[in-house]
Structure 1
Amino acid sequence: MRYRFDLHCHSFYSADAADAPEDLIAKAKARGLSGIAITDHDSCEVHKYLREKGLERADGQPVDGFLVVPGVEVSTADGHLLCIGAILPKLQGQPAVAVAAAIHDMGGIAIPAHPYDRWRSGIRTEVLDTMDIHAIEVFNAAVSSRKYNDHASAYATNRGLSMTAASDAHHASAVGVSCTAFEMDELSVPALLAAIRQGGVPEGRYLSFTEALKKHFGNFFRAANKRPLPRIDT
């Protein structure tokens, strides 16, 4: 069966994003997605919150037919790297090669985010060539120049890597603008990780002008959001 996922979304647990994780989930469902990976910047707190709320399961199974995938966008020393399918300790500032290895050790998949995008900390070829990766983000809806997506796609083709497309949403309204479709036997995190390794079908569409402006001025919109971050009991 075919399932569609947005594998790169941010909730207001990212300092430059505006909306609650519940809003991201609602928008993804409205757009017909099967699930999303919430990949906040250098933080997995959102997944603790969603598990407490019963909206995400630690065993990797869906809730009410919708799959929230654990993840994080790590600011490595070499650029941004997505972890899909695992919760990580703080690895900010570590070399990308080491972070990718840590992701694999935790059972996740490492996917370079918006590679080549020099304005958004994209990892470059000289580092990508040294990394043990199975997939790469070839279409980022919020990329600063479309040529960077072209470079990523060419690199994936040359290296034989699986390709993903994602919204990089920092507001709920952008969730699902881009996504990746996978053939899977069941809706679960383990099945998704296996499907990513096998390869999916990127469904790329760029952010609208309005959405791009909202993302560009993300810190302003984040400050305007009056809802405090939920308290996590530890």
Structure 2
Amino acid sequence: MNFKPASPFLLAALAVGLAGCSAPAPAPSAPATASASASAASGGGQATGASSGWQLVPANGAAAIKAAGLQVLSEEGSAEHYHAHLDVLSDGHSVPVPAYIGYSFGTDGQPNGISALHTHDDSGIVHIEAPTAGLTYTLGQVLTEWGVLDGSGGAPGSAHSSAADWQAYVNGVKQPGNPRDIRLKAHDEVLLVHGAAPATIPSSYSFPEGY
């Protein structure tokens, strides 16, 4: 589903209270650029095109935010503000993490709300900008807002396979259990892998200044 770039006035409103982050860029309808660390780890291969099933469905935004146990806010919060980074590798192919995860959209295709947990662009940077301090945010909530790895069907390693069949690394360290349970912390580099692990596991991510 294609949708129009958001009004710069609305984006400015959604960015109220934001410190150290740039305003969201217009959302791509079918992201085709993986983050640099995942691309390097996978040798540059990418899961491409709408048929991959990884694309964001804007019409589901509000429902996905609520399914993740989060609220649709009118603006980003300022009581809690930090960032993590997510890379996804499916059987040696890097999967782009799309812009506008955690946004709701109106019937006109414009964003009309945002959750405390969201992405501004397809860099893989996950923003936590919450109105209440001290709450826990998880990788599972990001995946729910994205609408992927929900176990609803598909071949192993595909967009709707079970997250329990994937392996996660945080800051280069292999994590036990279901990746959905991983708690996101400031400046974490999270790598989600299906299939053989890459030869190089990223242990950090170079965040922009101010992040």
Give the TM-score band, short-chain normalised.
under 0.3
Whose helix fraction is larger, Structure 1's or Structure 2's? 1
TM-score normalised by length of structure 2 = 0.27
